[in-house]
Structure formats: C-alpha cells, structure tokens
Chain A
C-alpha cells in the first residue's frame, strides 16, 4: 500500500487545502467520485486565530489581529483520522478538507493528488505568478541622464 503520510507531505496538502478557493475545491472534490463514509470526531466549528507579527519584521513577536478559521476532525471506517484547519468560516470547505486529509493517508492518495491537489496547486501557483508578473511590470528602471559635453 502506497501512502503519503510523512509530516512534510501532510503539512503541504493541509496548507494547500486551507488556502484553497472553496468553489474550486468543491468542484474538484465532487468530480473525484466515491466519497468515504466517516464519523465526526469534531464537527466543523468556526473560530479565530490570533495572527502574530514581529517587531521590525525580524524581532520579538506581537499580536497583530485575528483571522477566521474553521476546523473539524473525522475518522474513516478503517480508523484513519482526517483533520482540517481552513481559512474562513465555511463548514463545507472544512469538511471536504478533512476528508481529503484522511484519504491522502490511504491507497487512493495518488489518484486524489492528481485529481484535486495538483490542480489546486497549479491554480495557486498561476495566481501567484500572475500577480508577480503585474508587479514586475511596475518595477522602476532607473537611468541616469547624461548632461553636458562628455
């Protein structure tokens, strides 16, 4: 059985799911096919996380303000546990994310990665690159005027 359960891989997919566009995530999940049966360990719940910054960008921490986050946890019939902490207040988004987190620890991981995570990652990268490309176009190119005779 090929599973992807190393911490780094899990961190990556959970982070991707947390930041995903809900409509896009729901569309890809719906298209993925059979959904697992599961029991709730913690039903979806919206809450706040206090975001911290650093003084001067690099010094000691301070509390900047909160952001909304929705979390839940569930268990598949085989005992695999899925967690979700996703940005915003959408309970359906958290539910899908937790199911994907659980299934990514099972033998469907590769299919799920191809069907859902890879397109989400590509969309995220494309959005980021599109903004960076617009930013790059506003970069000032200084030039020095040559004045007078040589």
Chain B
C-alpha cells in the first residue's frame, strides 16, 4: 500500500517557529542570558555537564536555554555537540586528594584531619519556600575565617595502617572508553564508573535507593564526600611534558561498606566510589552505592538477583539519551509499520471469525 511520506515540511517549520516564540515566553519579561543561567542555575548546569559528559559551563547554560529548561533535551544537545569536537587526548588522572575543598564531610569519622567543612549546602535548611527570593534583594556576604590552604588528604588514607579497609590497587592499565568502543559485558569497573558518572541522575538514584531498601543491600556509610576544584593535566606531545590545561569542579563520594570477609580476605571495610562533574552530591553518593553493589562478584558476595547487582541491566539503562531516544522514537511516524500491523490484525480477526463460523456450521450439521 502507498503511504504519503511528504507534506510535513511547512507544518514542521511553523512548529519550530512557534517553539522559538514559546521559548522566549512573555516579551514583557526580561530575556534570560546564558550568563545568568550559568551563575544562578549552576546545579542544573552541573547536571547537564555531568550527563552530557562535557565540562563547559557556558555550553551547558546555552543548552539549558535552548531546551527551555528540559535538562534531558539539554544533555542531548551537549552530547550531539561533543561528537563534533576533535579529541585532543586523555588527561592524567586527576588527583582528588589535592582538591581545593569547598565542602568536605564524613559521616563516619568526626575528627577527620581537615575537619568537617559544610560548604554551600542545602543540608540543615528547612525546605521552606523563601519568598524573599521572589523579590529582588541583596545577598548578605558569606562569613569568612582563616583559610586552610594545604591539601586535605582523603580519610581512607588514615585507615591504611590498620588494614581495616580495602586498598585500591594501582594498576597501570589503559581504561576502556565507551565513547570510542561500544560497551561489551562484562564491562569491568572502569567502564562501569564511566557509564555511571554520565548516567541519568534519577536512574542512578533509584538503583542506589533499591540497594538501601534491601535489593542487594551493602550497608553503606558516606566515609567521605568532598566538592571542589582540581587541576587537569595533560601530556602535550609537541612539548614532551605535561601541563595543566584547566581545572574542573568535581564531587567525590567514598562509601565505607560492611564486608564479612571471604576465604582469602579477612573481614574489613570495602569501598564504593562516586566521582561526578560539578557540584553533584546526590548523584555521586548514588553512584558510589551502585558501584559497590556491582562489585559483588570480585568481592565474592552472593548474587542476590537484585537489579543493582546486574551490570548489564544497570549499564544498559543508565543512559538517558539512549533511553529517551528509543522511548520517544515511537511517537514519530510509523505509518507503514502500523499499516502492516493493521492488515495483520484484520487478517487474524478474519481467520478467527472464519474458524468460528466453520466450527458453528459443523456443530449445526452434526
């Protein structure tokens, strides 16, 4: 059967023109600048950078403006843009132990050297709407104290001596890159972490929450959570040495998890790890919980059949751009497919009806 495939151009052009007008909204209200979005919607910018997997606050702000605040649409724009960038290389691994911490807390060690630094947190706010923000107002200056300029070492450093916590093996292997080769299973921890850090915050949060509710429980405490900037170094081939090419803000979460020990390992604490672009606290805690749940096999734990223990399930569904691409494509014209489905259903109904009539006729004849 012939199905019309032309004729939508004018409708599409007009739809996009209307979209632009709706994006702008009421002309009596001042237009948002991308600078305003970057500075005042910074956590949305951070999320778009993390899940778009490209650290560039100006681009993320532009994407948020263009997408009318639909963050998954904004992430889509960033992912599309990053495919156009030539890849200059891979950085050295960032040293989060040298982070200039805006925030650094531990739920397990009250007197950690460097202290509990709350930073600009929503914690301990009352979650009551602040109507003062609806009116223009001056912001009171944040208090200051004598700055601590030396690096804040990781809390796990202090537990090394007693061997009470597993140590991360330092291996000199080149980690896989899911932006270069398609994911294969088992993926291994490096690819899992890359997938989780760019995965959808809601999905990772849901998976992490499922472990807390008992589906692959791993008894996590936040050993340390830190937010701040770290320099990024890269070896420059034409120079023959590494230089700092910039700095990125990161949120890092290390969980400390109960571990009963195995045949080869004495009882000790194990670790889950989360590292995310920007100030992305919820995401990095969730990432650490899911990372830990996915490590069941290497730690000799039982597979409880929990979703969060299933690497293929978690990694195949964590990416919101893949997910929304496949989900939303079903709304696009499927006229030919549907026409054939329609024909099939009609045929099946016809056959069923013929069979019923045939059986009724035979029954009447007997």
Interface residues of B (CB under 8 A from A): 49-50, 53-56, 58-59, 82, 85-97, 100-103, 110-111, 115-120, 142-149, 154, 156, 168-179, 189-191, 193-194, 197-198, 231-232, 234, 236, 238-239, 241-248, 250, 252, 254, 271, 273, 275, 277
Contact = CB atoms under 8 A, between A and B. Distances in A.
For chain A, which range describes its interface: under 10, 10 to 19, 20 to 34, or 35 or more residues?
Answer: 35 or more
Interface string A28-56: 00000000000000000111111111111
Contacts, number: 239
Contacts of A83: 236, 238-239
A11 B241 CA distance: 8
B244 A65 contact: no
A87 interface: yes
A134 B143 CA distance: 6
Given A49-B90, A137-B143, A87 B245 contact: yes
Q: Shortest 8 CB-CB distances between A and B: which pairs?
A: A59-B168, A87-B246, A15-B244, A132-B147, A56-B168, A133-B144, A136-B145, A67-B55
Contacts of A128: 100, 149
A147 interface: no
Contacts of B194: 62-65
Contacts of A62: 175, 189-191, 193-194
Contacts of B231: 15, 19
A50 B177 contact: yes
Contacts of B92: 52
Interface string A60-95: 111111111101010000000001011111000000
A131 interface: yes
Contacts of A135: 101-103, 117, 119, 147-148
B175 A52 contact: yes
